[in-house]
Amino acid sequence: MIKKYLILAILVLFQSHLYAKTHHVNKTTHPFLVIDKSAEVSKSKIIEKAQEYLGVSYGFGNKNEIKTDCSGFTQQVFKEFGLSLPGSAALQSKYGSKVDLKDLQVGDLLFYRTYKREPSHVAIYAGNGQIIHASYRSKKVQYDDIDKRYYKQRFMYAKRLALSEQNLATQQN
């Protein structure tokens, strides 16, 4: 059943891409990722928004201001800036440009392998070696040190999302 939905999603994505290429459309929507081109964002505003969730309870599969999981947290934060992210860390990891750890900027997404081979946890880089995320272990949204052993061992890669007038075609890697 999951394979059918995955195949369908891939076909929709591929068809959308072909249509945009053949019709020279400046595509600003994607089945999951929608960019509001008017969203010029300072990186500090992302963290200000993320801080509003500090202390919110963790709830796997929840995506609201009362309870949230890691991908729900990033979804809610980036939605405020015109980005509509998909509902899982694995799907969110498909977007953006890979970034070296030494080149991290505030607002970059960090992906971790926690309970399966693909990314299963996502956090927002807050600067100064800190991430802000919905922690399953602590059961709340909080800051953590990027060099904390638990996260260092599970880190996969970081991605930077375009939050300005960039073409969506370059958004997914």
Strands 67-68 vs 121-127: parallel, antiparallel or unpaired: unpaired
How big, in percent rounded to 5, are the helix, strand and coil portions of the chain? 30, 25, 45
Q: What tokens appear for 113 in the block?
A: 């392998």
Which ranges of the chain would DSSP assign to H, the alpha helix? 2-22, 43-51, 70-79, 89-92, 149-154
Q: Which amino acid is at 82?
A: G
pLDDT digits (tens, 9 = 90+) for 61-102: 778 778 999 999 999 999 988 899 999 999 999 999 999 999
pLDDT of residue 164: 56
3-state secondary structure of 98: strand
Q: Is the model's pTM score more than 0.75?
A: no
| Residues labelled as active-site residues | 70, 121, 133
3-state secondary structure of 158: strand
